[in-house]
Amino acid sequence: MARRDKADRIGNLLDQLYPDTPIPLDHRDPFTLLVAVMLSAQTTDKKVNEVTPALFALADTPQKLAALPAPVILAVIKSLGLAPTKARNLKAMAQRLVDEHGGQVPSDEAALEALAGVGHKTASVVRAQAFGLPAFPVDTHIHRLAARWGLSSGKNVEQTERDLKRVFAEEHWNKRHLQLIYFGREYCPARAHDPASCPICKWAAGKPRRVRARAKRPGKLTEKL
């Protein structure tokens, strides 16, 4: 089956399973979404949602967050992975928003990626979910699913993003990103997965293969996400 035909069939199934796609990270506006996405690196959405109420009670604007000392931010988010680096990045990100963007989160991709701790995936999530701009954020889980189903070569997340943008219509990119996240959690986990019982793998998956994402040294955030 051609990739585009396979993607159409997958998209139809995803629309049936997930007609509504709420953002799994609790937030109030573009700024709090940006903060939550930054905190979600190498951490579950559930854990992020447990700490953001306390953080947003202290600082729910760039001005307030920039004014907080990094140790105070760290004390609030210390239960998350890579907390010291995230605390420093959050403060620096907020300060740059104040200094260069009037305290507003920009929708421009380059401007977002210039912020501390904000890489292409995080910028794509904010552009898609905060501003409704077409983007297809690819994390390691979507990268794995795309390779498992033969929608991408699986060489790296950048190639996977390009491949998925080719096979899914642009107007569906934002919801497909979220639908794939929900589907992966419910039906298609990385481990202990039975392809025969998966609504998509049972017909779309090829032979098992190892999918490698860009390596990171354990315990240290080595790149923007």
Catalytic residues: 121, 139
Q: Is 196 left (phi over 0), alpha (psi -120 to 50) or beta?
A: alpha
Dihedral angle, C-alpha 151, 155, 156, 159, nearest 10 °: -50
Of 156, 140, 150, the residue nearest 42 (C-alpha): 140
55, 35 Cβ separation under 8 angstroms: yes
72, 58 Cβ separation under 8 angstroms: yes
Sequence-distant (6+) residues with CB within 8 A of 68 are: 58, 59, 91
Contacts 24+ apart (CB under 8 A), 183-190: 183/14, 183/17, 183/18, 183/145, 184/141, 184/142, 184/144, 184/145, 188/145, 188/148, 190/141, 190/144
